[in-house]
Amino acid sequence: AQKVTQAQTEISVVEKEDVTLDCVYETRDTTYYLFWYKQPPSGELVFLIRRNSFDEQNEISGRYSWNFQKSTSSFNFTITASQVVDSAVYFCALSHQDDKIIFGKGTRLHILP
């Protein structure tokens, strides 16, 4: 089975706090890709990161960081020093070599001023 689980439906934090969005995936394949997308209130899907299954290095991009752990099938996303503009729905997603992307249900993040 191929599945992405984002257990946190909704999170609220106060601005400047750090927040971690959890993502757990299921797959039988050894080659796969993991993604995070941001969906602001305007509705478009904003690509954040793509990681292949052979690259377990953690990644940092400004205030964003990602922790990929194959041992626990997790690909968590942390926002450091959150800002109101980070308020959005965040989707974790999985793809195999057949190219279609399987999305999780998303986590709605509210950053309170």
Instruction: Calculate ∠ Cα 79-31-27, nearest 5°.
Output: 75
Using rule CB under 8 A, residue 102 touches other proteins: yes
For other proteins, the closer CB: 13 or 45: 45
- Residue pointed to by tokens 């998303």: 106
Residue 24 in contact with other proteins, rule: CB under 8 A? no
**Residue 25 within binding range of other proteins, rule CB under 8 A:** no
Q: Which of 47, 23, 49, 38 is nearest to 85 (CA)?
A: 38
State which of residues 21, 91, 107, 111 lies at the interface with other proteins (CB under 8 A).
91
Q: Using CA atoms, how far apart are residues 9 and 24, in angstroms rounded to an integer?
A: 14
Contact 68, 51 (CB under 8 A): yes
Minimal distance, residue 93 CB to other proteins, in Å = 8
Using CB under 8 A as the binding rule, whether residue 33 contacts other proteins is answered as yes
DSSP character at residue 86: G
Cβ at position 107, least distance to other proteins in Å: 11
Which stretches of 1-113 are DSSP H helices? none
Interface region with other proteins, contact rule CB under 8 A, candidates 16-24, 54-62, 65-73, 92-100: 92-100
